[in-house]
Structure 1
Amino acid sequence: MLAQSLLVPALLLSVVGAVQDTVDVGYSIYKGQALPNGVSQWLGIRYAAPPLGELRFAPPQEPLRTPGVQDATIHGKYCLGTGRSPTDKSTSEDCLFLDVQAPTKATVHSKLPVFLYIQGGGFNLNSNPNTNASGLIINSGYDIVVVSLNYRVGPYGFMTDSDKIVPNNGLRDQRKVLEWVQKHISQFGGDPNHITLGGSSAGAASVTYHLTANNGTNRGLFHAAIAESPSFATTLSVAQSQYMYTQFATRVGCVGKDSLACMRKKTAVELQTSNFNIPLPGASKPPNYMWLPTLDNEFVQDYTYRVFQQGKFIRVPTVYGDDSNGGTKFAPKDTATLQESNGYVLDQYPVLTLEMLGEINELYPNPNTSCPAVGCYWRHASNVYQEARYMCPGMYISSVVAKHGKDAWVYRWNVEDPEQMASGLGVPHTVELNALWGADYVDDAPASYQDGQVNAAASPTMQHYWLNFIKYYDPNGRNAYDGSRYPQWKKWGEGAQSRLTFQTGGKAEMIPVDSGLRQRCDFWTRNGVALTM
């Protein structure tokens, strides 16, 4: 890819349709770079105006026009996170950037499938910024385009005041990127009519919110969905979340009728100093994540369980799944009694009744026999949290998708890393991201995922299915099942409810969901709306 002269902007894309490293997206011209591995990247592209001043706590606005050529070889800073240092130089309030990574050989006529990935972080931080998709693109046969993004989190993206602040601006940031992709992705070789929307944790919850946005109104912004460990949390109404605004404004010294104007004049450092979690209504301690999407009667019109129950979602093929021990990163390791375990769960879901907690204790016997001892109820709390928040909601959604005539596939990530097993984490939340992108392309991948180690084959196994789904909306490939060394991933609901289970060493097999898990998930499904999930 050779940059074209600024004196001849019409030639930017003129060489037999080839995508150039300099691309004009209308409001700005961005110069990316072609890497030696055959992948080109454009990093730090603004997709919205800087959310500063009067745009702080406001919906995303159109990006400003900029003169000259903008450097697109460095990631934009990611968004300010709750509980994070006010002097962290890697973050900024000016953070609405996206990255595009594509095969260098792509042309404006390639119409390659697009994977639009939303990172997680509990809606309180950007936990997986600066995605390196080179490995996935290379292993696709240089046949896909990947887009990743930052979006506002914490109070910047999810605070409202029942009056002047539009709720769910973090989700609106994401929609802005979906719209951006429709307008511009063809210039990078992508097909706007072939978009797989994916995400992990809060990113997977975001995928689910986009499936149900505005009661499932289909704007044609994506055509398939992958949700890795979708996070179902307590959802408050705008009125119920008012206390968060009141508390935050008070902490930063902005009381009175002009509190919003006052907060918009504060520096980001001043806001960050007071950006920490407090308990949900009815809880005694702060939850793992407090700032969350809010029922706004527009973007988020009802609890997710009820929206799916009513069939108000976009019908597209889906992949949902979770890790075997998705709660171990979150439950306190020193949980020593059943009362402490119940208290932790109640702090996450304060509308739990005493009767519900009693039924939970019956459904979840403590797997640890060392009590009394510090930490002997850690796994009890962890097991309740993981199935309530991640595992059971994903299986429920898949059942509803299948019921409404769309293909759905479910997985379980059960790849054991020796160090994580020894630490007691088991197979923790979102560990499969190391396999999705490839251990060489992520920071701090488990040692066993590296080349030559026991789980090195986990990445090609996962990428086989994900790439097929991104390309064909079927994880088994163009012809459903090609007889390869990878087992057929059967659809959810075909016969027994079975998940493709990724095992240690890169193996995978279809395993039916056991009766105990089905019974526990039935509890969360029955009570999901009552728990405001």
Structure 2
Amino acid sequence: MVLRGSLVALSLSMLSASRYYYASATQYTGAGGLPSIQLDNGTFIGNQTGNVTEFLGIPYALPPTGDLRLRLPVANLPYNGTYNASTFGTICPQQSFILDASVASTVGPIVGSLSFLSPASSPQSEDCLTVDVIVPTGTTADAKLPVVVWIYGGAFEVGDMIMYPSEVIVQGSLDLNAPVVYVAMNYRLSAFGFLPGKEVKEAGIGNLGLQDQRLALRWVQKYIEAFGGDPSRVIIWGESAGAMSVGLQMVANGGNTEGLFHGAFMQSGSPLPVGDIADTKYQAIYDSIVGRAGCSNTTDTLQCLREVPFSVFNDVSNETYSCLSFQSLSLAFEPRGDGGFLAEDPQQLILKGEVASVPFVTGECDDEGTTFSLPIANLTTETEANNYIASNYFPNASTQELQPLFEAYPSDPSAGSPFDTGAANNLTAQYKRLAAFQGDLIFQAPRRFFLQQISSQQNAWSYLWKRNKSTPYLGSYHGSDSAYAPGELRDAVINFANNLDPNGPTLGISDWPKYTTDAPTLFTLLDGNVSVALANDTYRADAMSILVNVSLEYPM
């Protein structure tokens, strides 16, 4: 979820005034044997390592700085001049992760062991809207290869493209004799990309991070043929917040893909059970940011936020709670219904059938909630846990309405997460209970709801990752199913990009069946001698049904 590496600044002086886009029909080797490619009148000099050629840090939008901060992204002007595309572009501003002192001594070592929660070490800048394109070496413009577009995760608070080894995907596709073009994008995060509030809604600038993703997909349509990609064979793929982004792109814009993608692959994330961007809780976040930025007494608070120095706006964003704060997965900055791009609550859009009609794969880790329950390990009694669930996630629901939910997630450690571990791994008295609840609320129940609503209308497959069960306190934790390593999920992504079907000879089963409401089959990845199997998606059915009903009535 976080970022590594040193970066290159790309000059706006390289941009011409024309607004027409053209891509070269040739990829060639330039001076010094370095790979280069022409887009418009610009020449991009990349890298070549073995079987993989990289073009990194290509701007797809004008820098969202100055008066373009907190505005819809603006497509990059046509390229002109020579660009260094051999290093990653600057990373977007990242949210600070600070554990509450009350739990730091207990859970700090566990959090520290999770590399994806490490502090960002690379320079950060608002001028970060770039794409990377990685291709098999020697690919020509007429190759018409399928295109995999990666959207990174990070709780909509952190994220980068550097920590994901794209060469694993491209080399894997060559090993399977099913080559792909790989694209990854930066998008705005935290307050820069997901600022809530009625002012934001009225200005039509909600969910800027999702809008960035959409513009990057338009860039792919305009330019990917130059790299040998086929714009009619694009899948979007993400993990965690990236998977949620994929699901939200499916329900955004009335379900109209605009021809930008033709399949979707989601790892640990689906359209979220969230409400309106201007709800009272989130208006308070906007008002707090405005106050701390010194903009309270201005007539146009949004414009004031655009004009404050970067350091000021970045500080007030970082001072807002994160996913490792006590609020955990009740995030300050995340996508919500904005009345436009996301017309209303995502799950209501699903119920109305406003979903992109494309094949998709969606899956989860068995213990999605363990990592995010570490910050609330100081909740030790059933009453404390119940009050937390009510106040943090469903403040408008009555105790009577929530009682069935409390009973569905009992304090019995053997019923909690990490699942299937008996009384073990109960870090504190309510830890496993809260891990089960949070994992189901944000990950498992939304996935099942999504599948139950639309799998009868389009091809869908689902999986469950139950490996790494021996990890103390975490089990099959969130993010442990990375496809950026050789294995079944990497191959499934490559198969899906090529055939819009994840099946293939290296998955260890003869057939991964489509998911239907009559036969809700999960491709299950296991520890032990039997590494893969098929199972029914029926676990915790009653509890998740209660969760879905409460979430529909009281979206977060």
What TM-score does the superposition give when structure 2 sets the normalisation length?
Answer: 0.81
What's the RMSD between the two structures over aligned residues? 3.0
Residue 425 in structure 1 maps to residue 425 in structure 2: no
Q: Which runs of 5+ in 2 are unaligned?
A: 1-21, 99-118, 415-422
Between the aligned residues of both structures, percent identity stands at 26
Residue 43 in structure 1 maps to residue 46 in structure 2: no
Contact 1:57 1:165 in 2 (8 A): no
> For the residues of structure 2 that align with 1:349 and 1:27, how far apart are their CA atoms?
54
1:489/1:353 CA distance change after superposition, 3 Å: farther
Contact 1:49 1:62 in 2 (8 A): yes
> For the residues of structure 1 that align with 2:212 and 2:225, how far apart are their CA atoms?
21
Q: 2:275 aligns with which of 235, 248, 253?
A: 235
> For the residues of structure 2 that align with 1:246 and 1:491, how far apart are their CA atoms?
46
Contact 1:17 1:109 in 2 (8 A): no
Count of residue correspondences: 489
Contact 2:62 2:74 in 1 (8 A): yes
Contact 1:234 1:348 in 2 (8 A): no
Which residue number in structure 1 is paired with residue 136 of structure 2? 103
How do 1:254-333 and structure 2 match up within 5 A? Answer: 254-255=295-296, 256-276=298-318, 288-331=330-373, 332-333=376-377
1:16/1:473 CA distance change after superposition, 3 Å: same
**In the TM superposition, what whole-angstrom CA distance separates every residue of 1:348-371 from its partner, at most 9, and x where no partner exists?**
343443234311121112232779
Which residue number in structure 2 is paired with residue 380 of structure 1? 433
Q: Secondary structure at the match of 1:40?
A: strand
Q: 1:248 aligns with which of 281, 289, 297?
A: 289
- Give 1:247 deviation, angstroms: 1.1
Counterpart of 1:219, as a letter, is: E
**In the TM superposition, what whole-angstrom CA distance separates every residue of 1:54-83 from its partner, at most 9, and x where no partner exists?**
001111112245642111111112211233
Greater shift, 324-333 or 460-469, is seen at 460-469
Q: 2:40 aligns with which of 12, 21, 26?
A: 26
Counterpart of 1:392, as a letter, is: A
Greater shift, 234-243 or 222-231, is seen at 234-243
Greater shift, 320-329 or 80-89, is seen at 80-89
Residue 411 in structure 1 maps to residue 438 in structure 2: no
- Give 1:98 deviation, angstroms: 1.2
**In the TM superposition, what whole-angstrom CA distance separates every residue of 1:385-422 from its partner, at most 9, and x where no partner exists?**
11111011112212222222x1111110111164xx22
Contact 1:117 1:149 in 2 (8 A): yes
Contact 1:336 1:375 in 2 (8 A): yes
1:180/1:14 CA distance change after superposition, 3 Å: closer
> For the residues of structure 2 that align with 1:109 and 1:17, how far apart are their CA atoms?
17
Which residue number in structure 1 is paired with residue 191 of structure 2? 155
How do 1:157-196 and structure 2 match up within 5 A? Answer: 157-159=193-195, 160=197, 161=199, 162-164=201-203, 166-196=205-235
Q: Secondary structure at the match of 2:502?
A: coil
1:374/1:491 CA distance change after superposition, 3 Å: closer
How do 1:186-225 and structure 2 match up within 5 A? Answer: 186-225=225-264
- Give 1:27 deviation, angstroms: 6.5
> For the residues of structure 1 that align with 2:37 and 2:408, how far apart are their CA atoms?
56
Q: Secondary structure at the match of 2:37?
A: strand
Greater shift, 253-262 or 344-353, is seen at 344-353
Which residue number in structure 1 is paired with residue 11 of structure 2? none
1:361/1:192 CA distance change after superposition, 3 Å: same
Q: Secondary structure at the match of 1:78?
A: coil
> For the residues of structure 1 that align with 2:328 and 2:413, how far apart are their CA atoms?
26
Greater shift, 482-491 or 315-324, is seen at 482-491
**In the TM superposition, what whole-angstrom CA distance separates every residue of 1:196-216 from its partner, at most 9, and x where no partner exists?**
111111111111111111221
Contact 1:305 1:525 in 2 (8 A): no
Counterpart of 1:512, as a letter, is: N
1:49/1:84 CA distance change after superposition, 3 Å: farther
1:313/1:207 CA distance change after superposition, 3 Å: same
Which residue number in structure 2 is paired with residue 79 of structure 1? 92
Which residue number in structure 2 is paired with residue 529 of structure 1? 552
Counterpart of 1:79, as a letter, is: C
Which residue number in structure 2 is paired with residue 454 of structure 1? none
Which residue number in structure 1 is paired with residue 410 of structure 2? 365
> For the residues of structure 1 that align with 2:122 and 2:342, how far apart are their CA atoms?
33
1:221/1:14 CA distance change after superposition, 3 Å: closer
Q: Secondary structure at the match of 2:455?
A: helix
Q: Secondary structure at the match of 2:487?
A: helix
Counterpart of 2:521, as a letter, is: S
Contact 2:58 2:89 in 1 (8 A): yes
> For the residues of structure 1 that align with 2:158 and 2:491, how far apart are their CA atoms?
30
1:234/1:343 CA distance change after superposition, 3 Å: farther
1:239/1:355 CA distance change after superposition, 3 Å: closer
**In the TM superposition, what whole-angstrom CA distance separates every residue of 1:32-74 from its partner, at most 9, and x where no partner exists?**
11112x0111111111011100001111112245642111111
Contact 2:274 2:336 in 1 (8 A): no
Q: Secondary structure at the match of 2:413?
A: coil
Q: Secondary structure at the match of 1:50?
A: coil
Q: Secondary structure at the match of 1:91?
A: coil
Which residue number in structure 1 is paired with residue 418 of structure 2? none
Greater shift, 191-200 or 461-470, is seen at 461-470
> For the residues of structure 1 that align with 2:446 and 2:28, how far apart are their CA atoms?
48
Q: Secondary structure at the match of 2:372?
A: coil
> For the residues of structure 2 that align with 1:528 and 1:517, how far apart are their CA atoms?
16
- Give 1:14 deviation, angstroms: 4.5
Q: Secondary structure at the match of 1:314?
A: coil
Counterpart of 2:516, as a letter, is: G
Q: Which runs of 5+ in 1 are unaligned?
A: 1-9, 439-458
Q: 2:126 aligns with which of 86, 93, 110?
A: 93
Counterpart of 1:337, as a letter, is: T
Counterpart of 2:309, as a letter, is: T
Contact 1:367 1:380 in 2 (8 A): yes
Which residue number in structure 2 is paired with residue 510 of structure 1? 534
Contact 1:320 1:395 in 2 (8 A): no
Counterpart of 1:24, as a letter, is: Q
Greater shift, 313-322 or 461-470, is seen at 461-470
